[in-house]
Amino acid sequence: MPPLLHPLLFAGPGAALYPLLEARHGASKCTLPLLNRPLVAHALQALCTAGLREASLFVRAAEHESVKKALGAVQLVGSEGLVAVQTHDGAAARGGADVFSVELLPLGPHDKASGVAAVEGEMRETETPGTAELVRWYGSLGRIQADLLILPIDFLAPSSTILELISAHLNASAATEGAPSASVVLYERGAGEGLGKDREKEVDTLTLRRSLLAHSPRVKLSTNMLDAHVYILAPEPLLQLLQARHELTSLREHVLPLLARTSWQTGLLEKALGAEQADKAAPAETEEDMSAKWRDEAVSRSTVLLVDAKERLAAGAPASAGKKTETKLRIQALVLRLAKEASSESGAAAKEGTEFVARANTVPTFLECTRFLQRQQATPSSSFVLPYLPSSASTQASAQVSPDTHLAANVTLGERCAIKRSVIGAGCIIGRGARLTGCVLFDGVEIGENARLENTIVAARAKIGDRATLKDCDVAPDAIVAADASKKVEKILHEEEEGEEEGDGEQ
């Protein structure tokens, strides 16, 4: 029996996470550590909590091995115990109760070392193909047999969100109105400081079509909602649209707006597909049919409508049998709102809505997501289920580590160092007398003696010199901060990157 849903995960290049991610340093957005767990593992955990046990992941072919290694050390939390993650290149084996199967896909047939044959004309050769292009290519391979569950790897929401979306979609599919062509997730802005700021655009005017206002005369416009990029899409008409319109390259920017417009704009779907493809089986209208259609239209617009004509029109007269069908699609949205204090009947304060919704796709939101998960892990009744991570870190007796600090394996702590509200990656070395507050350290970072770091993110293998002081800084992979340096609100790059930027400025 084919599955009801086929999860598709997309891992972009992570350009907005600069300087934490740099391809030259072997960094992958999938393996970016969020609370010492690979970022993609949080998306897989959301699917696992919803009862799914398999997914396909689009990621650069050059990153497949690092993703395999990272996921090989991860276990998900299922309803009946821990679930192992198995990765496959190409068609994945079916998952089970204790196994989550992940199919690793390249970014299209032109991705180097993909090993997947290209289908002629299915995709243009670009450095980073769009999501719609990848779905078009995947569909051309005959691999889409169920509704698609589209999920970005950086989406962070309560673990029940995916299950709620699936339930809403399936319930709507069972309704008399027919299955929706798309179910989408929108979320309320405001989960953390700076959330979504870099995605905002200044808009002077807003154009509305009269047909939209006629369909929904009472329109409420709000700028407080963000697109989570989480969708359930029916294969049809999605694949038909992608085959007919190769200029559609992005699901978010092109496909979803088009599907939404077809839900209220009559005839748009047929126009988008092309008349010959939209209704090949429609019989040609005869001269008698056209005459009867004109007569019926004239009668229907008349101020005096005859009873027999009204009954004949309501029953569907044969005269209109040759008219082409104009399809309107159904689109529905699941809106996630942040929790607000509300008074219950007993007078006690209660919370309505979810605690936190965000995408860890920028440096500010990544830091905010990390801080929130730190607090949630200490909450027994948290609605967030985290991938399992064994605790194997040990601390020096003289080191001061706060309870809300998270240490990975093989961390070396110097004497009299103090760490508060921080996340320390595997293999990090913290020098004697160092002070860290609200920091995130990736794997292999070295902090010198008596260094002071506050609200700073330090990427993998970077080295901070003795007595250096950093506040609100982002440190790139392999970067070196000299001893006694003092920096505030800076992006600290690797020496090679600094040299390239200086060279670009001279041109």
Taking domain 5-198+213-277+328-336, whether its CATH number is 1.10.3720.10 is answered by no
- The strand ranges marked E within 316-451 are 331-336, 340-343, 349-352, 358-359, 400-401, 406-407, 412-413, 418-420, 423-424, 429-430, 435-437, 440-441, 446-447
* pLDDT greater than 60 at residue 282: no
Enter the pTM of the model.
0.80
320 vs 236: CA distance, rounded Å: 26
pLDDT at residue number 218? 75
Q: How confident is the model at residue 290 (pLDDT cuts 50, 70, 90)?
A: low
Q: Residue 154 carries which side chain, given as an amino acid letter? A: D
470 vs 438: CA distance, rounded Å: 12
Kindly state the average pLDDT of the residues 198-203: 42
pLDDT at residue number 345? 47
**Would you list the domain boundaries of the chain?**
5-198+213-277+328-336, 400-506
Phi and psi based region of residue 276 (left: phi greater than 0; alpha: psi -120 to 50; beta: remaining): alpha
Share above pLDDT 90 across residues of the chain, in percent, rounded to a whole number: 46
What are the angstrom distances between the C-alpha of 364 and each of 32, 193, 336, 357?
14, 7, 21, 14
pLDDT one-digit tens code per residue, 18-46: 899 875 555 789 999 999 999 999 999 99
Classify 316 as helix, strand or coil: coil
pLDDT at residue number 101? 94
pLDDT one-digit tens code per residue, 373-394: 988 877 777 778 899 887 665 6
458 vs 91: CA distance, rounded Å: 37
Classify 445 as helix, strand or coil: coil
CATH of 400-506, one of 1.10.1520.10, 2.160.10.10, 3.40.50.150, 1.20.1740.10: 2.160.10.10
Residues in contact with 291: Cβ distance below 8 Å, sequence separation at least 6, in sequence order: none
Query: Looking at residue 388, what DSSP letter applies?
Result: B
Burial of 172 (0-12, 13-18, 19+ CB in 10 A): middle
Virtual CA dihedral for 236, 239, 241, 243, nearest 10 degrees? -150
Q: How confident is the model at residue 312 (pLDDT cuts 50, 70, 90)?
A: very low
Question: What token pair was written down for 83?
Answer: 């679930």
Please, where are the H alpha helices in 50-90?
64-72
User: DSSP 3-state helix, strand, coil percentages of the chain (rounded to 5)?
Assistant: 30, 25, 50
Of residues 487 and 273, more confidently modeled: 487
What are the angstrom distances between the C-alpha of 129 and each of 13, 30, 109, 133, 271?
11, 17, 10, 6, 26
Question: What token pair was written down for 372?
Answer: 């929130």
pLDDT at residue number 329? 83
Asked if domains 5-198+213-277+328-336 and 400-506 share a fold, the reply is no
By mean pLDDT, which of 31-45, 194-208, 223-237, 256-270 is the weakest?
194-208
Q: Which residues of 290-300 are buried (b: 16+ CB within 10 A; e: fewer)?
A: eebbeebeebe
The DSSP annotation for 115-157 comes to --PPPTTS----SS--HHHHHHHHHHTT---SEEEEEETTEE-
Kindly state the average pLDDT of the residues 421-433: 94
Q: Is the dihedral of CA 433, 438, 444, 447 positive or negative?
A: negative
pLDDT at residue number 320? 42
* pLDDT greater than 60 at residue 313: no
